[in-house]
A and B are shown apart, each in its own frame.
Chain A
């Protein structure tokens, strides 16, 4: 699903690379935690996979496409195969729950009939049935993040990238979001989640990739957040 070969990202204003010679393979259907302290390069890695950034060196393959060779007019097609969730939800405040989710389908030109069937289905999936007409500011943080997950997943992407999705949520609510991501993963969707929430990583027992100052320092199947002592 994702292959990184010697990927380095050097920002112009910084002396040290944000991502330093990282090689990584993620198979289809995997659930991968990307851990590391703030500024370790987790977010940059996700942005590279979305082609929001170009690597300074190295190759990135996502869903069989070589991102270095992907012309810019094909970037939208790439992003349609990737769902994205952020710490700050990024919902549109002037649209209701169902309008926020429908927006993701409408702007890629999906027919009205598909929007009408897919949106209720995904609202059901994320457990927000009955709250379709609410506006984001009428929802709790965990519910807002469920809307964001629904929006990312409504197009049934093969890959879901989540950048600290529980960063703004309390532990109980976070567990709910993790259960949701796990359920999505079980449908066959590859999930890559950047986090520094140790509890969650320890509970889930999934593959853990750790970054430190941009370098890959650990890649462990069924890992925990810190080293096992």
Chain B
């Protein structure tokens, strides 16, 4: 095997086929960026799930003066009702792990802290926020037990499962992920077609050389390797660009934009990005090489 000779052939192939090679690199870079972005969204969802499922609780909002649900027709919750609810919750141990009481004042302070960058704070007064019991369940799936026990009870405005709210959000993220991956798959399909076509053109433009190689007894791999190497190198360059795009997404998108604005949740770290990079390279180079090898099998038969 003469590696130097094959490297020369690859270099010649690149020069001869420059426009097609650039097209392949750009397509691969775009499809792998989308593919990687889809995987990053998935990593983000899983990071957030870990973070939030640990913290979520069921909120039992109590009636205030401004509540207008039927169960609040008696006006704001009375101290007796509040004590009764608290006692009932404690009686539901072990399903109810912990109960916190949050007064209107505490709720207001938490709200201010959470939205300190937002203008909404100016429009909210402490008595606009309901007081609540925050209930942590040993098994979050058993939300219904709490809901049926307290919904509609006098003094209770609403029972809310935070997990449901989060699930809606996660569904949105999962949808984004599915869209990104679907586009990535379509783009990878386009990449395959482009590689197949590029290889056909390359094989055609080197048909004299190939004819002579076959005639003098060059082995199949000697004939195909320059083409396959060309496809692999194009794909690797594309994957390298995609890696840059993903790193930029993490640095400028997540670290600089999202993280400072949404401090109440956690975001993916660099380890998530680096664990995706090998996969991006593997998929990009693998698909390109397979497409090239399959095309050459058809066009360079001995």
Contacts and interface: CB of A to CB of B under 8 A. Distances in A.
Interface of A: 50, 72-73, 75-82, 84, 90, 92, 103-104, 106-112, 151-152, 155
A92 B220 contact: no
Interface in B189-226: 208-209, 211-220, 222-223
Interface of B: 1-2, 4-5, 208-209, 211-220, 222-223, 302
B6 to A, nearest CB: 9
A92 B219 contact: no
A107 B213 contact: yes
Given A72-B302, A75-B302, A76-B302, A107 B208 contact: no
Nearest to A110: B2
Given A72-B302, A92-B212, A109-B222, A79 B2 contact: no
A166 to B, nearest CB: 19
23 contacts: A50-B215, A73-B219, A73-B220, A75-B302, A76-B219, A76-B302, A78-B217, A80-B216, A80-B217, A81-B217, A84-B215, A90-B208, A90-B215, A92-B212, A106-B2, A106-B5, A107-B5, A107-B223, A108-B217, A109-B1, A109-B2, A110-B2, A151-B212
Nearest to B211: A90
Contact of B216 (A73, A111, A151): A151
A104 to B, nearest CB: 4
Given A72-B302, A111-B2, A79 B217 contact: yes
A79 B219 contact: no
B2 A112 contact: yes
Given A72-B302, A75-B302, A103 B212 contact: yes
A76 B215 contact: no
Given A76-B214, A92-B212, 19 more contacts: A50-B215, A75-B302, A76-B218, A76-B220, A80-B216, A81-B217, A90-B211, A92-B208, A92-B209, A103-B212, A104-B216, A107-B212, A107-B213, A107-B223, A108-B216, A109-B219, A112-B2, A112-B4, A155-B216
Given A90-B212, A92-B208, A107 B218 contact: yes
B199 to A, nearest CB: 19
Nearest to B16: A94
Query: Looking at B208, B212, B214, which has the most chain A CB atoms within 10 Å of its CB?
Result: B212
Contacts of B2: 106, 109-112
Nearest to B206: A92
B300 to A, nearest CB: 12
Contacts of B209: 92, 103
Nearest to B209: A92
Contacts of A112: 2, 4
Contacts of A77: 217
B206 to A, nearest CB: 10
A78 B219 CA distance: 11
Contacts of B215: 50, 79, 84, 90
Nearest to A86: B215
Contacts of B222: 107-109
A106 B217 CA distance: 11
B223 to A, nearest CB: 8
A199 to B, nearest CB: 28
Given A72-B302, A112-B2, A107 B211 contact: no
A80 B214 CA distance: 10
A107 B214 CA distance: 9
A144 to B, nearest CB: 14
Contacts of B1: 109
Nearest to B208: A92
B216 A107 contact: yes
